[in-house]
A = this chain, B = another copy of it.
Amino acid sequence: MSKQELVVLGQDESGCCPTLLTAPLDQEQAVELAKMFKALGDPVRLRLLSMIASREGGEICVCDLTPAFDLSQPTISHHLKLLRQAGLIDCERRGTWVYYWLLPGTIDKLAGVLTRSGRPATSEASA
């Protein structure tokens, strides 16, 4: 059930600072990262990810996700699949139900790639 993830970009060879803001990305890295950001580029998937990530206990049943949206159940399933293919979440069937949880490594990678060095990286972004 947890096949088709994404090979996660071999960063950090240089010792520090995952790049994007510090050095030009090469084509291959850009393609890799774009897949993950694209997965975040949809309101439904963002909300799904948010619901999964913020769930106490770390995992959530599909049956708890679906009713939160005005979308058909197959559509939700499709979005979950895309998040999974992006390496952001994983799932497991337990009896009748399927449970999803966050894969923190991928999120951390994306956060790191967007983080300018020497910042607390939480709030203070008042734009």
Contacts and interface: CB of A to CB of B under 8 A. Distances in A.
Interface of A: 8, 11-12, 16-27, 30-31, 33-35, 37-47, 49-51, 53-54, 68, 87, 102-112, 114-117, 119, 121-127
27 contacts: A8-B127, A11-B123, A12-B126, A16-B122, A18-B123, A18-B125, A20-B49, A21-B50, A22-B53, A24-B51, A27-B43, A30-B43, A30-B47, A30-B50, A34-B41, A38-B42, A41-B41, A87-B127, A103-B127, A104-B116, A107-B114, A107-B116, A108-B124, A111-B114, A111-B115, A112-B122, A117-B122
A118 to B, nearest CB: 9
Nearest to A118: B122
